[in-house]
Amino acid sequence: MSEAMNEEMYQELRRAAEAHRQTRKYVQNFIKPGMTMIEICEELEATSRALVAEKGLEAGLAFPTGCSLNHCAAHYTPNPGDKTVLQYNDICKIDFGTHVNGRIIDCAFTVAFDPKYDQMLKAVKDATNTGIRVAGIDVPLNELGEAIQEVMESYEIELNGKVFPIKCIRNLNGHLIGQYRIHAGKTVPIVKGGETTRMEENEIYAIETFGTTGKGTVHDDNDCSHYMKNFDEQFVPLRLAKSKHLLNTITENFGTLAFCKRWLERAGAEKYLMSLKDLCEKGIVDPYPPLVDAKGCITAQYEHTILLRPTCKEVISRGSDY
């Protein structure tokens, strides 16, 4: 495929990326301790919707705003009624996505107000940039993992008089991105020993790395907020009228993009918890609960979306900030 044939896709990605850059610049200025997580997410999402010129499934938000705190590394967004307030000593991963015509920008950064976390942020940013540097057409995915791990684990951090090695979270990874499909099959490991599959021309990847002072693995936590229709889901007959109705709401508003309970309510869903559980049990919708390392540890994330054009590697979501 020549670049000319893909120019439309490239332009859609760039439009989504520009909205992401402008949104996060605004967020970096307003996010402060004392705000509730719901306030932060709603402000970010309203800004992002306006900047990407949201229009049904043609353009908008690609997935819920992750704002995972401290030992929680990913997939936390507040559910309705969540009273959590951002604290000065929290370390918060802001992970949000924009899309134009299903061309998704998946890009994340870490917010920390206390300078004691600087070394953690530096390690993860360096690791992500290393992954971006090593990436390219015909490069085996495991080469990225090995290079990322070597850089990440060359750092350590002193917290309250104790020195911790910074580890990669080995069961989190980057991923291939498809149209309206955030995880499109191939994974980009962040430790050595991953798959030897190669990156290919015109593929779009999320290159993301996670550092931790904990065990280096995450597990599911309670109170799920993130959900997504199963991309390959075949028709499943539904007995319950309420489940059918909820599925229609999901299909019309989100298609195969991820969503959260706040967004279901925004779309007008009421008393939907049993129906949502039914759709999950039938495999039509998949839940993505918060992913946590050991309590008391800290985790950080940086992520960019890259496009492997035939002639060059474009870091589409790169900005003046990171």
The catalytic residue positions are: 95, 106, 175, 183, 208, 303
Please give the structure tokens belonging to residue 200.
Answer: 């290919």
Tokens of 211: 């550092």
**Residue of 155, 122, 140, 157 lying closest to 192 (CA atoms):** 140
How many Å apart are CA 101 and CA 250, to the nearest integer? Answer: 17
List the beta bridge partners of residue 156.
165
- The Cα–Cα gap between 143 and 132 comes to 11
Cα–Cα distances in Å, from 89 out to 14, 20, 41, 70, 196? 35, 26, 19, 9, 40
Cα–Cα distance measured from residue 257 to residue 285, given in angstroms and rounded to the nearest whole number? 11
Helix 141-152 vs helix 118-134: angle between axes, to the nearest 10 degrees?
Answer: 160
DSSP 168: E
Cα angle 191, 194, 198 (rounded to 5 degrees) comes to 120
Do 62 and 258 touch, CB atoms closer than 8 A? yes
Q: Are 297 and 212 in contact (CB under 8 A)?
A: yes
Please return the burial class of 141, using the count of CB atoms within 10 Å of its CB with bins 0-12, 13-18 and 19+.
buried
